[in-house]
Amino acid sequence: MQLSIPFSPDQASSYSGRVDALFAFLCVLTILFGAVITLVIIYFAIKYRRRKEDEIPRGVEGSMRLELFWTVVPFLIAMGIFLWGSSLYFTMYRPPDEALEIYIVAKQWMWKFQHLDGQREINELHVPVGRKVKITMTTEDVIHSFFVPAFRIKMDVVPGKYSTVWFEPTKAGRYHLFCAEYCGTGHSRMIGWIDVMEASEYQAWLAGGAAEGSLASSGEKLFQQLACNTCHRSDAQGRGPVLEGLFGKPVQLSDGSTVIGDENYIRESILNSQAKIVAGFQKPSIMPTFQGLISEEQVLQLVAYIKSIGTKQPMEGGAAKPQPPTTQQ
Amino acid sequence: METAAEVVPPRTHYVNAKYGVKSWLLTTDHKRIALLYLASVTFFFFVGGFFAVLIRLELLTPQGDLVQAETYNRLFTMHGVVMIFFFLIPAIPAVLGNFLVPLMVGAKDLAFPRINLLSWYIYTLGATFTVIAILLGGVDTGWTFYTPYSSTYSNGNVILTGLGVFIVGFSSILTGLNFIVTIHTMRAPGLTWFRLPLFIWSHYATSLIMILGTPVIAVTILLLALERLAHIGIFDPALGGDPVLFQHLFWFYSHPAVYIMVLPAMGVISELVANMTRKNIFGYKFVAFASIAIAVFGFLVWGHHMFVSTQSVYAGMVFSILSYAVAIPSAVKVFNWTATLYKGSISYNTPMLYAFGFIGFFIIGGMTGLFLAALGVDIHVHDTYFVVAHFHYIMVGGTIMGYLGGLHYWWPKISGRMYPEGWARFAALVIFVGFNLTFFPQFLLGYMGMPRRYYAYPEEFQVLNVMSSAGASILGIGYLIPMIYLIWSMRYGPHASANPWGAFGLEWRTSSPPPTQNFEKTPVVTWEAYEFHPREEREALGVMDVLDRTLRPDLNVGDRG
Amino acid sequence: MATHAGLAHHFDDIEQQREAGTLGMWAFLVTEVMFFGGLFLAYILYRSKYPTEFAVASNSLNVTMGFINTLVLICSSLTMALAVYFSQIGNRRLITVFLLLTMVLGTTFLVVKGFEYHEKYVEHHVPVRFPTYEFKWEPHGSDHAGAHEASSLAVDTGRVEMFFWLYFAMTGVHALHMIIGLGILTTLVIMTRRGRFTPEYHSPVELSGLYWHFVDIVWIFLFPLLYLIGAHLHR
């Protein structure tokens, strides 16, 4: 499945070859189908060309069998293509559990990359070959789209939520990154590079890096700076839910429903604290909203921090005790 | 074909019945309204084409050096808006449909002639707003107007352009209403549903889409305008809204809209294939029902434009499987047209050449749709030139070929004159070559990764872009040639008889051009849709074949025999 | 068959004309359903996302005025139906009477709506952001018992605003259709006075009746969906 097709970019990710294979199959199908019809038309057009101005042929009305044949057979082929495409789609759009995490904040007209260990890059992302990479991204303004032709991957970045994409680079090299959703004047300039490096080179590059410390440690600093820790205490004495051990686990909400405590949940809770209230905590929530007060990158730092404490156990005393509802003034 | 000397044109017909600008601008004759539309859509075709020329000139070089980025963005947006809303959607229905639907069903006019005229005025009003928007600098959001760029960030004339599109939508709705009511209630005696020409079936299906889909884009534009003017927050995540909701609302209309653009062309092709091979369309009922199926299924697949939009993977799968379902009726039509050729008597005149061209282009355009419906492949080619090539194969290679084929086929009926066949075949060939050269390289560019709406691109894409631009210049010449000779023929072309092609259809049983009231006497239909009989059978059945009229050019005023 | 004065030249007979007109009006009403449908879809989506805010915001609407308007419109459908009946039997005077009554009721609806909109404007519930006027949401004061409970519910101003723009968009588009309806009715009154309608030809009255009933039915949906969803908060 590694045969490459003409006019295609490098096959540089673990599923590039699979996409090319399906594409090649579709090309062959098109050529076959097109050739058969074209040849039949040419043959008929010549054999049955009008020889006298006033000739009228005898009619051939129709054939139920032919109609069924050329309805059912294409339908079955189409279903086959659908299944093939869907299975590929599931692979491409289901991020693996274990992966190197990168965050992206897109804005008009640049890509801002953030490595977990604190490295920041603009428009050029370094990743190691042979490791799965999972990207969580959002945008500060309009919809953009993260597109790496060599990896055959694309995903829109939409304001107000996180979207995720993953890939596993299989070949070292420098590959185009394009913005693939029209976003204004600088859309054609919102391009960059993905640098896939051999493992050793990548380590070397990482070592040269981040003066400010890891993303999670920046998040921890911000957590204290913004006084989050006054309510979200790890000893369950605070007025907000404990955040240790929260990430990735189900959270019971006050309306009875349950959500998974993922990146989108954390982001929403920071920017719109009234959106989802944890069960047992008072309504309206006394958590202030940080919408407009912190940038998307700062949100990502907080998310990274909360993720990093997600593996910790909450301290003795178990889960946070719900506070009795206080009257609102 | 008869010589000019033999053909006597009718004394009065719809063109010379009344003179004066007022008689044209206040007409309620569907044939005159069709010509009003012809003038309008032709004008906008060249406006949109002009923008295309500039786009392809810019893309000759990898750098953005012809125009500024902002200008380029406005160019491709206005190219899309003008071509889609002011040319492709109205062209065949409002020109050929308006002219032919009453004739084909044996009626004196459409059900609501004054509403027909109103629809042209509404078109013109919408067009005026759009032209003003263009003159004020246009808009740069892409014809898809995605939020939040269009609602919050763009500093172009979004609302003005939106107003133009909103208004022209009502023109579409009124045309669709008129066709549906006419086809249901005004068929000539004896003209049952399954005796109708397939052109009518296609236009009926198209009209269903027009009346059901267009109101949704109207509401969508209204919401976008409210968002832009008053910041109500429907599409703004900071205010609790959802930008992807816009995409759902937009594509709910805009996907069926592409079937509004292609179904009428398919109707034309059915007429051309049947009449140019002098055989009933193979599987007539299947082709008729396929039109309805396309209209119905077309409403269920809008999400295939949004596979990478962060919509859920399950939604993606539903839309993908339905998109394959909608492809099947189109394939069935292609097979039936091909089968019609079997044992036919195939003429190579210009309309048939356009029909052949349509079928070829439609195969490529349609099959590449299967690529796009395949989820795993679409992730890679979405928003690249692959998509651009796909839809241009269908809309230009399909619809415009159908439009030109129909225009040439019915030109003698509309104008009473024949166009010069040699020039026409030459132009068809030029268009065929130019089109392929323009758009085939774009498939390759797309798979290589060149995104849409880029005015500057990496060096490695240049060769294919140059090929595409070269093709565009040839294509442009190809489109200019028919403009010239069709206008020339209106004055200098040889007169045409009632039925120069020896074709079936009530429109061929009245003079060329027809009288204002279409028929001297309302026809009574006792024959099937394309009931061609060879001579021996005619004699055995004792029927007079309608074709005999062509061999007696003096009989060029409609008369049932 | 005699040629009727109302028979248009392109129809074979009055029966065909009537059939065409009726089908045309029904098809047009289908397009109206699709048009309003987009707004109803947005309503359904956002209400299911933000049920609390929608209930609380709905609570702030004037149910009394809404109810009066509902009664007014239902009565106007009755008067319209009577106008159609009298056109079928050819009583010119009563056609005019009932058309005028329908217009009076329709105008009443619009006047009441005007008062409602004004009330909303004064309370700063119009969801716009201009330099001189901005949307403001405060929970209602102590003017009814439910206020306390309503205000203790978690509400997000942005979501409340969502309700209000839907309210204005849906009732605004509806009001626009009412105004157009009044124009149609005016035309009908003029045509009636000129003696254009007979028991054989009165389809403009019938078809306009269809339109009027449609606009009425849209309101029957709007009223509970906009005004009554917060009713359970009145305790």
Domain ranges of chain B: 4-551
The helices-and-strands tally (H runs, E runs) of chain B is 18, 0
Mutation site for B-interface testing, chosen from C10, C50, C132 by largest number of B Cβ within 10 Å: C10
Give the CATH superfamily of A100-207: Cupredoxins -  blue copper proteins (2.60.40.420)
Asked if B268 contacts B403 with a C-beta cutoff of 8 angstroms, the reply is yes
Contacts of C154 in chain A (CB under 8 A): 274, 277, 283-285
Q: What is the CA radius of gyration of chain C?
A: 22
Question: Chain A: nearest CA to C176, how far in angstroms?
Answer: 33
Chains touching A, CB cut-off 8 Å, 3+ pairs: B, C
* pLDDT score of C133: 83
**Closest CA in chain C for residue B215:** C35
**Closest CA in chain C for residue A285:** C154
d(CA B342, CA B345): 9
CB-CB neighbours of A259 under 10 Å: 14
A272·C154 Cβ contact <8 A = no
As for how many domains chain C has, the answer is 1
Instruction: Tell me the pLDDT tens digit for each residue of C214-235.
Output: 999 999 999 999 999 877 775 3
C224 vs A208, more confident: C224
Instruction: Tell me the pLDDT tens digit for each residue of C37-71.
Output: 989 988 998 888 888 889 889 988 999 999 999 99
d(CA B381, CA A23): 10
Asked if B370 contacts A26 with a C-beta cutoff of 8 angstroms, the reply is yes
**Closest CA in chain C for residue B212:** C31
**3-state DSSP: chain B helix, strand, coil percent, rounded to 5?**
70, 0, 30
* pLDDT score of B9: 78
For residue A153, which of B380, B387, B422 has the smallest C-alpha distance?
B380
Which residues does B481 contact at the CB level (< 8 Å), separation at least 6?
B423, B426, B427, B430
- Is the CB of residue B457 less than 8 Å away from at least one CB of chain A? yes
Asked if B109 contacts B222 with a C-beta cutoff of 8 angstroms, the reply is no
Chains touching C, CB cut-off 8 Å, 3+ pairs: A, B
| Helix B198-230 with C157-193: angle, nearest 10 deg | 130
d(CA B528, CA B196): 8
Mean pLDDT of the C128-135 span: 81
Question: Chain C: nearest CA to B269, how far in angstroms?
Answer: 28
* pLDDT score of A4: 67
- Does the pLDDT of residue A58 top 60, yes or no? yes
Q: Measure Cα distances from C37 to A169, C31, C135, C212 in Å.
A: 47, 9, 26, 18
Name the least confident of A61-65, A188-192, B263-267, B337-341: A61-65
DSSP A87-113: HHHHHHHS--SS-EEEEEEEETTEEEE
- Looking at the domain assignment, is residue C185 inside a domain? yes
Chains touching B, CB cut-off 8 Å, 3+ pairs: A, C
- Does the pLDDT of residue A156 top 80, yes or no? yes
- Is the CB of residue B24 less than 8 Å away from at least one CB of chain A? no
H or E element, residue A28 = helix A16-47
A54 vs A120, more confident: A120
Angle at the Cα of B180 from the Cα atoms of B176 and B186, rounded to 5 degrees: 135
Domain A215-308 - what CATH class? Answer: mainly alpha
Q: What are phi and psi of C200, to 5 degrees?
A: -80, -30
**What CATH number belongs to B4-551?**
1.20.210.10
Residues in chain B: 561
d(CA A149, CA B377): 11
Domain segments of chain A as ranges? 100-207, 215-308
Q: Measure Cα distances from B314 to A249, A258, C190 in Å.
A: 23, 21, 58
A54·B384 Cβ contact <8 A = no
pLDDT band of residue A169 (cuts 50, 70, 90) is very high
Strand partners, A156: A145
d(CA C227, CA C235): 16
B310·A18 Cβ contact <8 A = no
Instruction: Tell me the pLDDT tens digit for each residue of C148-171.
Output: 444 445 567 778 888 998 999 999
Which residue of C11, C30, C161 is in closest CB contact with B211? C30
Contacts of B218 in chain C (CB under 8 A): 35
Instruction: Tell me the pLDDT tens digit for each residue of B128-153.
Output: 999 999 999 989 999 999 999 999 88
Q: Which residues of A300-324 are buried (b: 16+ CB within 10 A; e: fewer)?
A: bbbbbbbbbbbeeebeeeeebeeee
Tokens of A211: 């003066």
- Looking at the domain assignment, is residue C65 inside a domain? yes
What ipTM does the predicted assembly reach? 0.91
- Cβ burial of C191 (10 Å; 0-12, 13-18, 19+) is middle
Strand partners, A253: A278
A124 vs B230, more confident: A124
d(CA B345, CA B341): 8
Which residue of A66, A179, A183 is in closest CB contact with B149? A183
Which residue of B180, B216, B223 is in closest CB contact with C27? B180
Which residue of B325, B344, B376 is in closest CB contact with A19? B376
Contacts of B328 in chain A (CB under 8 A): 71, 74-75, 78
Give me the half-sphere count of Cα atoms (radius 13 Å) on the Cβ side of residue C52: 19
Mean pLDDT of the A273-302 span: 83
Asked if B264 contacts B176 with a C-beta cutoff of 8 angstroms, the reply is no
* pLDDT score of C36: 93
Instruction: Tell me the pLDDT tens digit for each residue of C140-151.
Output: 543 444 444 444
Percent of chain A with pLDDT over 90: 51
- What value does the mean pLDDT of chain A take? 87
Instruction: Tell me the pLDDT tens digit for each residue of C1-26.
Output: 445 667 888 888 888 999 999 999 99
Q: What are phi and psi of B441, to 5 degrees?
A: -55, -25
Asked if A84 contacts B376 with a C-beta cutoff of 8 angstroms, the reply is yes
Angle at the Cα of B477 from the Cα atoms of B473 and B478, rounded to 5 degrees: 115
Asked if A177 contacts A167 with a C-beta cutoff of 8 angstroms, the reply is no
Asked if B370 contacts B413 with a C-beta cutoff of 8 angstroms, the reply is no
pLDDT band of residue A55 (cuts 50, 70, 90) is confident
Which residue of A277, A285, A328 is in closest CB contact with C152? A328
Strand partners, A321: none
| DSSP label of B397 | I
Name the least confident of A134-148, C190-204, C213-227: C190-204
Q: Which residues of C touch A (CB under 8 A)?
A: 151-156
| Residues of chain B falling short of pLDDT 50 | 1-5, 550-561
* pLDDT score of A3: 62
A154·B279 Cβ contact <8 A = no
**Closest CA in chain C for residue A255:** C52
C151·A328 Cβ contact <8 A = yes
* pLDDT score of B395: 95
Name the least confident of A12-16, A242-246, A288-292, B49-53: A288-292
Which residue of C151, C152, C154 is in closest CB contact with A274? C154
CB-CB neighbours of B6 under 10 Å: 13
d(CA A244, CA A235): 10
Q: What is the pTM of this model?
A: 0.90
Which residues does B294 contact at the CB level (< 8 Å), separation at least 6?
B205, B259, B263, B326, B329, B330
Range of the domain at C132: 15-233
- Is the CB of residue A328 less than 8 Å away from at least one CB of chain C? yes
Which residues does B182 contact at the CB level (< 8 Å), separation at least 6?
B101, B102, B105, B107, B110, B111, C20
H or E element, residue A115 = strand A110-115
- Does the pLDDT of residue C95 top 50, yes or no? yes
Asked if A103 contacts A135 with a C-beta cutoff of 8 angstroms, the reply is yes
d(CA A142, CA A126): 25
d(CA B268, CA B8): 28
* pLDDT score of A209: 67
